[in-house]
């Protein structure tokens, strides 16, 4: 099952919300999506490909305070520290990626 949690909460609070709702397995591997502004697009996509290739049960974490990446994994993803503007941008990005 794929899901997105969009919240203004801090990272740990967002993870706890996912766990308390039963969406995040306690044994899941938590993978931080790298900050998009810290690397070029090709480098960022390569890094994301490597993260997606991990076989473990995984949940992606995105700090949405910064620049929203051009694509997001269509897997279990928690976006924390979201502003209303960034929430709209994330929803648009996910819809385009389907």
What are the residue ranges spanned by the domains of the chain?
A: 4-97
pLDDT of residue 94: 81
**Strand-pair partners of 63:** 80
Separation of alpha carbons 59 and 38, rounded Å: 21
| pLDDT value for 98 | 57
17 phi, psi to nearest 5 deg:
-60, -50
> For every one of its 98 residues, what pLDDT tens digit does the chain have, with 9 covering 90 and above?
578 899 999 999 999 999 999 989 989 999 998 888 877 888 888 888 888 888 888 999 999 988 888 788 778 899 999 999 999 988 888 888 75
With tokens 């960022």, the residue in question is 44
pLDDT at residue 1 in the model: 59
């Amino acid at each position: 099952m794929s899901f997105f949690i969009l919240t203004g909460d801090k990272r740990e609070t967002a993870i706890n919300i996912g766990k308390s709702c039963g969406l995040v397995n306690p044994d899941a591997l938590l993978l931080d999506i790298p900050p998009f502004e810290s690397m070029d697009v090709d480098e960022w996509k390569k890094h994301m490909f490597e993260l997606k290739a991990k076989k473990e049960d995984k949940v992606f974490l995105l700090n949405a305070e910064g620049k929203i990446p051009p694509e997001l994994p269509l897997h279990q993803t928690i976006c924390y520290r979201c502003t209303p503007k960034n929430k709209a941008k994330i929803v648009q990005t996910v819809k385009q990626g389907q």
